[in-house]
Chain A
């Protein structure tokens, strides 16, 4: 079946602009994660959604970052007033929920460049 998809693949924006990044998880996966990967670094956890529960936002670096998940499926990560340090690859992953959520399956990521 289809994997996790993300759009756009690449995004170039000017400092101060808002951007929206989209993630379509694998059908049937109730858990969804957003990560940030800066150049040459590991993955930094941003936010986690599980079903209709309140999201775990503990990884969001500032209040300029927000995310929502509509209908328990598609998720949008929004970065307001972008800064150059926001430049990174943003990865989305999904997994089954509950105790079965052993493995995350990743999308190809969105590479964000803030000029």
Chain B
């Protein structure tokens, strides 16, 4: 089974600074999707960014970007110009693109991000 590892249980960043959250995964598949979700105290899981494994270009969404290293099976999230509203738990997730095995999303254990004013 695929596994997703987030080795940083907690991170903090000064407001307006940049922070990088780490994620590694283990898979034997060549085609898959990777996601970063944000979960603020309200519990609502919100999609931050998505990356298709077949795309070499790193995904970017405004202040959020990823560093996708397929060979290293690494998928880090960079948050630029951090804002107080970025404070949340961040989850990295993996999903296969294959038929039957694509039912499940595999989530890491999360990284709690604190933004310091």
Determine if A101 and B105 form an interchain contact, defined as CB atoms under 8 angstroms apart: no
B59 within 8 Å of A (CB atoms):
no
Who on chain B is nearest to A43 by CB? B107
**How far does the Cβ of B33 sit from chain A's closest Cβ, in whole Å?**
6
Find out whether the CB atom of B108 lies under 8 angstroms from the CB atom of A93: no
Is A43's CB under 8 angstroms from B33's CB? no
CA distance A44 to B97 in the complex (A): 20
In the bound complex, residues from chain A placing their C-beta under 8 Å from that of B45 are 91, 93, 106
- Chain A residues bordering chain B, tally (CB within 8 A): 24
Q: Which residues of A from 42 to 68 have beta carbons under 8 Å from B? A: 42-43, 45, 48, 50, 56, 59
What number of B residues sit within 8 Å (CB to CB) of A? 23
Instruction: Check A103–B47 contact: CB distance below 8 A.
Output: yes
A109–B43 touching, CB < 8 Å: yes
**Shortest beta-carbon distance from B16 to chain A in Å:** 29
User: Are A33 and B105 within 8 A (Cβ)?
Assistant: yes
Chain B, 66-117, CB within 8 A of any chain A CB: 91, 95, 97, 102-110
Q: List 29 A-B contacts (CB under 8 A).
A: A33-B105, A35-B107, A42-B91, A42-B107, A42-B108, A43-B91, A43-B105, A45-B104, A48-B103, A56-B104, A59-B104, A89-B43, A91-B43, A93-B45, A99-B97, A101-B102, A102-B33, A102-B52, A102-B95, A103-B35, A103-B50, A104-B47, A104-B105, A105-B47, A106-B37, A106-B46, A108-B43, A108-B44, A109-B44
> Which residues on A are within 8 Å of B, measured CB to CB?
33, 35, 41-43, 45, 48, 50, 56, 59, 89, 91, 93, 99, 101-109, 111
- Interface, chain B (partner A; CB < 8 A): 33, 35, 37, 42-47, 50, 52, 91, 95, 97, 102-110
